[in-house]
């Protein structure tokens, strides 16, 4: 298998941008900035020696207080921090890691959750005067960091055809224009409805209803870029697109594998779970090209976790708990080979002592595909396993010892495994590993797909899916009296192609920032520019708002933490976490501006403007009340029976058949898959680059310019490279470089990144997203059509610092 990948799964339209076009554009100074994220500022300091040795602890408390007070002030910080992740409060808008069932703490959030809350509840505002002052051309020169820092959008705004600025528009006029544009389409498939996992269940359900009543399944979402490979692999092999473990399983497991996930930054509350498991004696293995601080050592700053609270100050000054027992420095995209090696050893060892390391009874009763799988293991050679994984055989043996000993093993994974040309096969390898030891449907064991956005899993459950199952559509149609289209819609990559080739005429996004999240920034900028009508429902400004074609509308909405009142009633919403638990969420804070509407109300008003207030099968007006929406959901989506009652009692678990060892697959059993080993075939001087998040961002929302755990301060245009590779390339630590990516004969260049000598695996490199997205081809996708954001073949060339665009330098905007 070549790492160039499968090519788009379905009717991939070839990119119309040639490599020479790209080169001209990225070399032509200002023009390149139109797509590319501008540099915020020169790096003040990059010092790997300054890397943190342990996660959380005092610095996390300091950061939490600092950003809370700076953005929200004392009263709002205190109130919101006490309400987050509480049954009578709101679900944290950061990650999807679950809250404990019974032992929720006074402060049930983390440093990065606090940043997300403060970012949403900031007192800063982007009012109409801001848009009058700053032209769109000026704003395009700013980064997502600068744009986000300006504050909450307060009024509906419109950029009319030919205008240089956004100007205010009333809500009724905005809805009327959107309705008119949707009605005027010659084909409903000319509209694209994008969502991200910030959207709560009730809004997500209404959003897919709007699209389907109009007649399209064009419902791309951030999940297409996140865990699409996981969903595809899991549906195929275990018959459900979700993991099977619950938080309680961590109280019973003896072995935890963490693959391609940086929980210290992206799921910090997971560290508490890991620490508890560790204290119970569980063995933890981290498989990652980078020795992430959060995986190595943690100091728990939560007073309630100490039997004697007086121990807290001492604990904070100590060195904390070492989490990882075995760190496996796999090279970028070396996981499939590594897991193949481990399983080859396990099967060989079991052959010598049957039943010693693999669960033969489980395999016989519950699985299919064993013979092919074993034949695949036998075919793979140690030479290719070691070369492709970048891990020495002795370390693979050590890992096999641990896995072989484990009686209850949880395997967690996130984007380090999915965003590859072979992402689907990577996840299938995880399933293979779980099946081998019967680690599924057993207490303390199972695959654990670590989701990103707080409700990304819920959005899918609510029908935000371009390829919905027939059972879902049939139930939706019966309940709502509509006839949903059966033709599959477009996912995010297909949406980008449709925008680029002009077949999409309307782009409507509820939350998210597809523009900056997408691969191939220049291609994406062009795609958005060609779209005649773009609507974003957003809390904060981002670069995607600036690239709409002829006419563009920006609708400001309430955030998760803000009170939503309708009909004199504070509205209750819900979100599903990474483990299939549906939690109540109810905003508690005063809205940032009087004119804001909720995501739900905006969808209802758009639907009314499109389909007419009275006519049509759906009584949209009634759906302004979330209780009425939930009644509908309870009759459409299995597992949501008595939705209103159960949500008011607290949270509830959704059914998960695979957890009960019922596998709804084509064979009726859990499936082993025979997977190939990726060949990297790097030419001399080439590295395989992954893209990662810093400690100061939530996806495209950049809170700050530091990455405390990795020792990077004051800037984001960096590329982490192993010191031996830097040496071989004749580059110095700290040197400015241009990065050129190579895909299918095309090159793309990003200028002015600082090379940092870093303990990352050999032949690997890492850079931050979204700055590096300019280097990722829109055609580099896996079998699930997910962009291969973490597998970019690059070369480096010595260069100079980028022109400094100081983040808050007003003179650039005068």
Residues interacting with ligand MGD, by CB under 6 A?
94-95, 112, 196, 198, 222, 225-226, 259-262, 265-267, 287-290, 292, 330, 332-333, 335, 414-416, 419, 452-453, 510-514, 517, 537-540, 542, 557, 559-560, 599, 690-693, 697-701, 769, 772-773, 776, 789-790
Residue 637 C-beta: closest distance to ligand MGD, Å: 22
Q: Cα separation of 396 and 656, whole Å?
A: 33
Site string for Mo ion, 164-203 (x = CB under 5 A): ----------------------------------------
List the single partner that 260 binds among Mo ion, ligand MGD, none, CB under 5 to 8 Å by kind. Answer: ligand MGD
> CA 266, 272, 276 angle in degrees (round to 5)?
145
What is the crossing angle of helices 626-636 and 201-214, to 10°? 70
Q: What is each CA distance from 219 to 212, 407, 479, 484, in whole angstroms?
A: 9, 41, 20, 13
Q: Could you say whether residue 116 binds Mo ion (CB under 5 A)?
A: no
- In the block, which residue shows the tokens 């530091």? 706
Nearer of residues 452 and 485 to Mo ion, judged by Cβ: 452
What number of residues does the chain have? 814
Residue 589 C-beta: closest distance to ligand MGD, Å: 13
User: Is 748 within 8 Å of 18 (Cβ atoms)?
Assistant: no
List the single partner that 261 binds among ligand MGD, Mo ion, none, CB under 5 to 8 Å by kind. Answer: ligand MGD
- In the block, which residue shows the tokens 């006519």? 615
List the single partner that 72 binds among ligand MGD, Mo ion, none, CB under 5 to 8 Å by kind. Answer: none
Q: What is the DSSP letter of 337?
A: H
List the single partner that 522 binds among ligand MGD, Mo ion, none, CB under 5 to 8 Å by kind. Answer: none
Nearer of residues 300 and 422 to ligand MGD, judged by Cβ: 422
Q: Cα separation of 221 and 785, whole Å?
A: 12
- Please return the burial class of 488, using the count of CB atoms within 10 Å of its CB with bins 0-12, 13-18 and 19+: middle
Applying CB under 5 A, among 158, 226, 430, 636 the residue interacting with Mo ion is 226
List the single partner that 300 binds among ligand MGD, Mo ion, none, CB under 5 to 8 Å by kind. Answer: none
User: Is 559 within 8 Å of 542 (Cβ atoms)?
Assistant: no
Stretch that binds Mo ion, among 218-226, 550-558, 733-741, 797-805 (CB under 5 A): 218-226
CA 678 to chain centre: 24
Residue 481 C-beta: closest distance to ligand MGD, Å: 28
User: Is 802 within 8 Å of 765 (Cβ atoms)?
Assistant: no
Under DSSP, is residue 706 helix (H, G, I), strand (E, B) or coil? coil
Residue 519 C-beta: closest distance to ligand MGD, Å: 7
For 503, the token pair is 């077949």
List the single partner that 773 binds among Mo ion, ligand MGD, none, CB under 5 to 8 Å by kind. Answer: ligand MGD
List the single partner that 599 binds among Mo ion, ligand MGD, none, CB under 5 to 8 Å by kind. Answer: ligand MGD
Nearer of residues 369 and 452 to Mo ion, judged by Cβ: 452
Q: Cα separation of 504 and 685, whole Å?
A: 40
Nearer of residues 512 and 704 to ligand MGD, judged by Cβ: 512
Residue 223 C-beta: closest distance to ligand MGD, Å: 7
Query: Which residue, among 45, 39, 35, 27, has the nearest Cα to 752 in the 3D structure?
Result: 39
Q: Give the chain's radius of gyration (CA, Å).
A: 25
Nearer of residues 419 and 585 to Mo ion, judged by Cβ: 419
Residue 311 C-beta: closest distance to ligand MGD, Å: 28
Residue 456 C-beta: closest distance to Mo ion, Å: 6
- What lies within 8 Å, CB to CB, of 505 at 6+ separation is 181, 185, 190, 191, 531, 532, 533
List the single partner that 573 binds among Mo ion, ligand MGD, none, CB under 5 to 8 Å by kind. Answer: none
Binding-site residue total for Mo ion (CB under 5 A)? 2
Residue 537 C-beta: closest distance to ligand MGD, Å: 4
Nearer of residues 196 and 288 to Mo ion, judged by Cβ: 196
Query: Which residue, among 181, 220, 155, 159, has the nearest Cα to 606 in the 3D structure?
Result: 181
Nearer of residues 226 and 658 to Mo ion, judged by Cβ: 226
Residue 763 C-beta: closest distance to ligand MGD, Å: 11
Residue 475 C-beta: closest distance to ligand MGD, Å: 26
Residue 360 C-beta: closest distance to ligand MGD, Å: 29
List the single partner that 545 binds among ligand MGD, Mo ion, none, CB under 5 to 8 Å by kind. Answer: none
Q: Cα separation of 210 and 205, whole Å?
A: 9
List the single partner that 514 binds among Mo ion, ligand MGD, none, CB under 5 to 8 Å by kind. Answer: ligand MGD
List the single partner that 57 binds among Mo ion, ligand MGD, none, CB under 5 to 8 Å by kind. Answer: none
Long-range CB contacts (< 8 A, 24+ apart) of 484-489?
Answer: 484/212, 484/217, 485/188, 485/212, 485/215, 485/216, 485/217, 487/189, 487/217, 488/10, 488/217, 489/189, 489/211, 489/216, 489/217, 489/218, 489/219, 489/220
List the single partner that 512 binds among Mo ion, ligand MGD, none, CB under 5 to 8 Å by kind. Answer: ligand MGD
Q: Could you say whether residue 376 binds Mo ion (CB under 5 A)?
A: no
Under DSSP, is residue 485 helix (H, G, I), strand (E, B) or coil? coil
List the single partner that 363 binds among ligand MGD, Mo ion, none, CB under 5 to 8 Å by kind. Answer: none
List the single partner that 333 binds among ligand MGD, Mo ion, none, CB under 5 to 8 Å by kind. Answer: ligand MGD
Nearer of residues 288 and 741 to ligand MGD, judged by Cβ: 288
Nearer of residues 244 and 265 to ligand MGD, judged by Cβ: 265
Q: Could you say whether residue 417 binds Mo ion (CB under 5 A)?
A: no
The DSSP bridge pattern shows strands 191-195 and 506-510 to be parallel
Q: Considering only residues 441 through 480, tell me which ones interact with Mo ion, judged by CB under 5 A.
A: 452
Nearer of residues 367 and 574 to ligand MGD, judged by Cβ: 574
Residue 353 C-beta: closest distance to ligand MGD, Å: 30
Stretch that binds Mo ion, among 30-38, 67-75, 81-89, 224-232 (CB under 5 A): 224-232
Q: Cα separation of 492 and 497, whole Å?
A: 9
Q: Could you say whether residue 52 binds Mo ion (CB under 5 A)?
A: no
Query: Which residue, among 681, 664, 453, has the nearest Cα to 577 in the 3D structure?
Result: 453
- Where would I find the beta strands (DSSP E) of 350-503? 367-368, 409-413, 446-449
Q: Cα separation of 394 and 391, whole Å?
A: 8
Query: Which residue, among 596, 604, 454, has the nearest Cα to 538 in the 3D structure?
Result: 596
Q: What is each CA distance from 315 to 73, 299, 307, 781, in whole angstroms?
A: 29, 7, 12, 46
Nearer of residues 695 and 742 to Mo ion, judged by Cβ: 695
Residue 713 C-beta: closest distance to Mo ion, Å: 26
- Please return the burial class of 326, using the count of CB atoms within 10 Å of its CB with bins 0-12, 13-18 and 19+: middle
Residue 750 C-beta: closest distance to ligand MGD, Å: 12
Nearer of residues 376 and 452 to Mo ion, judged by Cβ: 452
Nearer of residues 112 and 324 to ligand MGD, judged by Cβ: 112
User: Is 324 within 8 Å of 285 (Cβ atoms)?
Assistant: yes
Nearer of residues 80 and 288 to Mo ion, judged by Cβ: 288
Nearer of residues 111 and 275 to ligand MGD, judged by Cβ: 111
Nearer of residues 457 and 735 to Mo ion, judged by Cβ: 457
Nearer of residues 226 and 284 to Mo ion, judged by Cβ: 226
Other CB atoms within a 10 A radius of the CB of residue 662 amount to: 17
Q: Measured in Å, how far apart are the chain's first and last C-alpha atoms?
A: 53
List the single partner that 287 binds among ligand MGD, Mo ion, none, CB under 5 to 8 Å by kind. Answer: ligand MGD
Residue closest to Mo ion (Cβ):
452
- Contact residues toward Mo ion (CB under 5 A) are 226, 452
């Amino acid at each position: 298998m070549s790492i160039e990948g499968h090519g788009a799964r379905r009717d991939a339209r070839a990119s119309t941008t040639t490599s020479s076009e790209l080169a001209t554009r990225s070399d032509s100074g200002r023009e390149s900035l139109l797509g590319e994220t501008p540099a915020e500022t020169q790096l003040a300091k990059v010092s790997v020696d300054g890397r943190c040795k342990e996660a959380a602890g005092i610095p996390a408390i300091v950061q939490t207080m600092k950003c809370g007070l700076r953005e929200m002030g004392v009263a709002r910080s205190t109130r919101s921090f006490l309400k987050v992740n509480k049954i009578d409060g709101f679900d944290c808008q950061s990650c999807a890691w679950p809250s404990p069932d019974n032992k929720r703490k006074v402060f049930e959030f983390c440093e990065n959750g606090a940043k997300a809350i403060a970012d949403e509840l900031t007192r800063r505002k982007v009012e109409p005067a801001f848009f009058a002052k700053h032209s769109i051309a000026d704003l395009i020169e700013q980064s997502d960091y600068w744009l986000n820092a300006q504050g909450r959008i307060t009024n509906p705004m419109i950029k009319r055809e030919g205008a240089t600025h956004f100007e205010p528009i009333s809500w009724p006029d905005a809805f009327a224009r959107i309705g008119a544009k949707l009605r005027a389409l010659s084909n409903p498939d000319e509209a694209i409805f994008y969502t991200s996992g910030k959207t709560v269940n009730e809004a997500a359900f209404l959003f897919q209803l709007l699209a389907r009543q109009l007649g399209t399944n064009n419902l791309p979402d951030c999940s297409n870029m996140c865990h699409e490979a996981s969903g595809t692999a899991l549906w195929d092999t275990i018959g459900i697109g979700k993991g099977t473990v619950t938080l309680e399983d961590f109280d019973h497991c003896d072995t935890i594998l963490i693959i391609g996930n940086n929980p210290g930054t992206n799921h910090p509350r997971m560290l508490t779970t890991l620490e508890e498991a560790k204290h119970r004696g569980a063995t933890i293995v981290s498989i990652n090209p980078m020795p992430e601080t959060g995986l190595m050592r943690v100091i728990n700053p939560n007073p309630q976790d100490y039997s004697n609270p007086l121990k807290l100050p001492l604990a904070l000054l100590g060195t904390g708990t070492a989490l990882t027992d075995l760190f496996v420095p796999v090279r970028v995209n070396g996981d499939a080979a590594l897991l193949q090696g481990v399983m080859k050893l396990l099967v060989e060892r079991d052959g010598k002592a049957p039943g010693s390391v693999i669960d033969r009874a489980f395999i016989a009763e519950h699985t299919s595909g064993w013979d092919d799988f074993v034949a695949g293991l036998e075919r793979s050679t140690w030479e290719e396993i070691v070369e492709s994984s970048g891990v020495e055989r002795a370390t693979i043996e050590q890992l096999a010892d641990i896995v072989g000993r484990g009686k209850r093993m949880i395997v967690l994974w996130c984007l380090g495994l999915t965003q590859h040309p072979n992402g689907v096969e990577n996840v299938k390898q995880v399933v293979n590993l779980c099946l081998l030891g019967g680690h599924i449907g057993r207490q303390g064991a199972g695959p654990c797909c670590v989701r990103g956005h707080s409700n990304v899993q819920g959005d899918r459950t609510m029908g935000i899916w371009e390829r919905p199952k027939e059972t879902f559509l049939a139930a939706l149609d019966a309940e709502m009296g509509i006839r949903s289209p059966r033709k599959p819609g477009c996912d995010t990559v297909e949406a980008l192609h449709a925008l680029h080739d002009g077949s999409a005429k309307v782009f409507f996004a509820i939350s998210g920032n597809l523009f900056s999240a997408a691969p191939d920034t220049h291609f994406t900028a062009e795609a958005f520019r060609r779209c005649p009508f773009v609507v974003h429902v957003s809390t904060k400004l981002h670069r995607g708002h600036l690239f709409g074609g002829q006419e563009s509308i920006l609708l400001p909405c309430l955030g998760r933490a803000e009170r939503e009142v309708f009909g004199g009633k504070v509205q209750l919403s819900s979100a599903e976490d990474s483990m299939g638990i549906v939690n109540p969420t109810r905003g508690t804070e005063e809205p940032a501006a009087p004119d804001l509407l909720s995501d739900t109300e905006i969808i209802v008003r758009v639907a009314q403007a499109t389909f007419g207030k009275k006519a049509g099968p759906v009584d949209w007006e009634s759906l302004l009340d979330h209780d009425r929406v939930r009644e509908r959901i309870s009759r459409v989506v299995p597992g949501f029976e008595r939705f209103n009652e159960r949500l008011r009692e607290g949270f509830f678990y959704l059914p998960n058949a695979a957890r009960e060892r019922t596998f709804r697959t084509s064979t009726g059993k859990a499936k082993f898959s025979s997977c190939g080993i990726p060949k990297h075939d790097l030419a001399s001087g080439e590295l395989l680059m992954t893209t990662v998040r810093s400690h100061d961002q939530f996806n495209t929302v950049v809170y700050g310019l530091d990455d405390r755990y990795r020792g990077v301060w004051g800037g984001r245009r960096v590329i982490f490279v192993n010191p031996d590779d830097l040496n071989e390339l004749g580059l110095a630590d700290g040197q400015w470089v241009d990065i050129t990516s190579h895909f299918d004969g095309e090159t793309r260049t990003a200028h002015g990144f600082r090379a940092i000598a870093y303990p990352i695996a050999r032949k690997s490199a890492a850079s931050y997203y979204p700055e590096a997205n300019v280097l990722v081809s829109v055609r580099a996708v896996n079998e699930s059509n997910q962009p291969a954001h973490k597998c970019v073949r690059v070369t480096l060339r010595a260069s100079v610092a980028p022109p400094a665009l100081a983040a808050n330098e007003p003179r650039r905007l005068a």
